Amino acid sequence: MKFNAMTAVAALMLAVPGIAAADPDDDTLIINGELEMTTKAPLPAHMEDVNMDQIMSGWHFRSDETQALEMDDFDNPGMIFVDAGRDQWNAVEGSEGKSCASCHEDESSMTGVRAVYPKWDEKAGEVQTVAMQINDCRVNNMGAEPYKYDSGPMANMEALIALQSRGMPVNVKIDGPAQETWEKGKEIYYTRFGQLELSCANCHEDNYGNMIRADHLSQGQINGFPTYRLKNAKLNTAHGRFKGCIRDTRAHTFSPGSDEFVALELYVASRGNGLSVEGPSVRN
């Protein structure tokens, strides 16, 4: 071990109290005064050797004002996009003269879907995200154009589908045929990309609760996606967020919908197994 004495000095300095740690809060998320959400949960079994006490929704890391916006659907700007998604659901498009509703009826038929995706698709022989499934239906069942992976219309549709599972625990499967993809996602999560050499884990596992400049770092959970961000005043997809976070390490990032991000989505989702599906959530 190099530099023994100095490392010891640095360790001492780190232990000195007085740094204003902005810890996640203990508030309870109840939506519309009736739906109590699980925003803290025990570590999923696969995270046993991870140095964390529990998993937490990003909601706990936001200011009281931002939190309040998610507590009432009339205040949640994401709900406007859900309405747009509902119109898309009922709109006939493509060569087959069908809408989503033609095959699936009411959107409540999507209850439970968000909670278990991404998941292995036997027919396709790959792990599929909700977005991939949406485009699969559009192209193969409706004869319509696919949505661009992280576009507004895609986010709207994802929000409508997420809402049907709101309050249900995230529960993605990581074993069986999905395991290989999950392992790949895990590897990406711990890879230190870019000229800043930062991994997802550096920020969201080792430093959640700490401040990086003006940002209060959360655990980077995706149970709240798609998420309405005050910063860009639109609904954001999980892959859009991944892309931004990797770009911020001064790296050549991956594309929304890429195999890498599908794998990463499965892995990150599995780190939230047990938290409530929260989309569309509100963040800054």
Partner 1 sequence: MKLSTTILAASALAAGSAFAEPVAPGDVQFDDYGAVAESLTGKPGDPEKGAEVLSKRSLGNCVACHQISSLADVPFQGNIGPTLDGVGDRWNEAELRGILSDANNVYPGTMMPSYYRVDGFIRPGNGYTGKAAEGPLEPLLTAEQIEDVVAFLVTQKEQ
Q: Is 151 helix (H, G, I), strand (E, B) or coil?
A: coil
Q: Which stretch binds partner 1 (CB under 8 A): 27-35, 152-160, 208-216, 222-230?
A: 208-216
Binding mask 33-62 for ligand HEC (x = CB under 6 A): -------------------------x--x-
Whether residue 253 lies in the annotated active site: no
Across the strands, what pairs with 97? none
Q: What residues between 178 and 207 interact with ligand HEC by CB under 6 A? A: 198, 200, 202-204
Q: Are strands 35-36 and 30-31 parallel, antiparallel or unpaired?
A: antiparallel
Site for ligand HEC in 231-270 (CB under 6 A): 238, 241-242, 245-246, 248-249, 264, 268
- DSSP-based three-state secondary structure for 236: strand
- If binding means CB under 6 A, how many residues of this protein chain bind ligand HEC? 28
Task: Single out the segment in contact with partner 1 by CB under 8 A; choices: 46-54, 102-110, 137-145, 194-202.
Answer: 194-202
Tell me whether residue 138 or residue 239 sits nearer to ligand HEC (CB atom): 239
Strand partners, 212: 215
Helices 238-247 and 259-270, axial angle in degrees (round to 10): 100
Task: Give the span between the Cα atoms of 83 and 94, in whole angstroms.
Answer: 21
Length of the chain: 284
Binding mask 6-35 for ligand HEC (x = CB under 6 A): ----x--x----------------------
Among ligand HEC, partner 1, none, partner that 204 touches (CB below 5 to 8 angstroms by kind): ligand HEC
Between the CA of residue 136 and those of 37, 39, 131, 147, 163, what are the distances in Å?
31, 32, 9, 10, 21
CA nearest to 220, candidates 52, 66, 56, 65: 56
241 is in an annotated binding site: yes
Residue 148, contacted partner among ligand HEC, partner 1, none, CB below 5-8 A by kind: none
What does 192 bind: ligand HEC, partner 1, none (CB cut-off 5 to 8 Å by kind)? partner 1
Non-local (6+) Cβ contacts of 187 within 8 A are none
Q: Is 250 annotated as a binding residue?
A: no
Residues with catalytic annotation? 245
Give binding residues for substrate as ranges: 241
